[in-house]
Amino acid sequence: MLVSGRGSNLRALLEAERQSDYPAQVVAVATNRAGCPALALARERQLASRSFPISEYGGSLERRDQEMAAWLLGRGARLLVLAGYDRILTDPLLSAFPQRILNLHNSLLPAFAGTMHAVEEALAHGVKITGCTVHLVAPELVDGGPIVLQAAVEVRDDDTSASLLERIHQQEWRILPEAVRLLSLDQLRMDGRRVVRVAS
């Protein structure tokens, strides 16, 4: 997993893998932010974890992503999950996990794509329904890859960004583990831009 924030989706995946029939396991957690709570959670759970601050790579995203990809592959990672990771991936990571990278975004894509403030933008826009999306990462398309799963969340008249985000999180914790399960079992296939579930 690549993380930058509080780690609630990491916690959801760790909870999912406690089920005896769950087909995936978190083997490594990497971050661009050394002080993020998600990294502390990974260390608390004794997971392989490491911070990759851009300052250590002379500002080069590609150099950083190349070392991150090598580190993840060296720990047995077969697919990559971005949960609150706030940087766009460059070719070394994209090439290391082709069609095996899931990203979680807190809107119903394609609405409010390409921002870390999708919840605030949804409120400001006045939408009545928002939600969250898990999609496959596609090169050169920020939040534009093929959609795997989505969940809708009603926007209430008295919502703040915090209250709305909390209800969106409840859905993220449900659909992200399911998307990881489907990808792990090779139960997803592409039909043009559409992602179709298939039996294994």
Residues 87 and 9 in one domain: yes
Q: Which residues contact 134 (CB under 8 A, 6 or more apart)?
A: 102, 103, 104, 105, 147, 148, 149, 150, 175, 176, 179
Residues 111 and 94 in one domain: no
Torsional class of 129: left (φ above 0), alpha (ψ -120 to 50), beta (otherwise): beta
93 by DSSP, 3-state: which? helix
Residues 124 and 167 in one domain: yes
- Please compute Rg for the chain using Cα positions: 16
135 is catalytic: no
Residues 125 and 87 in one domain: no
Number of domains, the chain: 2
Q: Which helix (H) or strand (E) holds 162?
A: helix 161-184
Question: How far are the Cα atoms of 22, 146, 177, 183 from residue 188, in angstroms, in the given order?
Answer: 16, 11, 14, 6
Q: What is the pLDDT of residue 141?
A: 84
Residues 68 and 117 in one domain: no
Q: What is the pLDDT of residue 84?
A: 85
Domain, as residue range, for 122? 103-200
Catalytic residue among 105, 125, 135, 169: 105
**Could you give phi then psi for residue 177, rounded to 5 degrees?**
-60, -35
Residues 116 and 92 in one domain: no
Which DSSP category does 58 fall into?
T
Instruction: For strands 28-31 and 2-3, give the pairing.
Output: parallel
As a whole number of angstroms, the distance between CA 140 and CA 103 comes to 14
31 by DSSP, 3-state: which? strand
pLDDT in tens, 94-135: 999 999 999 999 999 999 999 989 999 999 999 999 999 999
Contact 194, 146 (CB under 8 A): yes
Q: What is the pLDDT of residue 200?
A: 65
Q: Which of 88, 149, 148 is nearest to 114 (CA)?
A: 88
Per-10-residue mean pLDDT of the chain, 200 residues long, equals 93 96 97 92 96 94 96 97 91 96 96 94 98 94 94 97 97 98 95 88
Residues 160 and 200 in one domain: yes
119: its two tokens:
């919840």
Report which residue type is found at 57. Answer: Y
CA angle 58, 62, 65 (to 5 degrees): 100
Q: What is the pLDDT of residue 199?
A: 80
Residues 94 and 127 in one domain: no
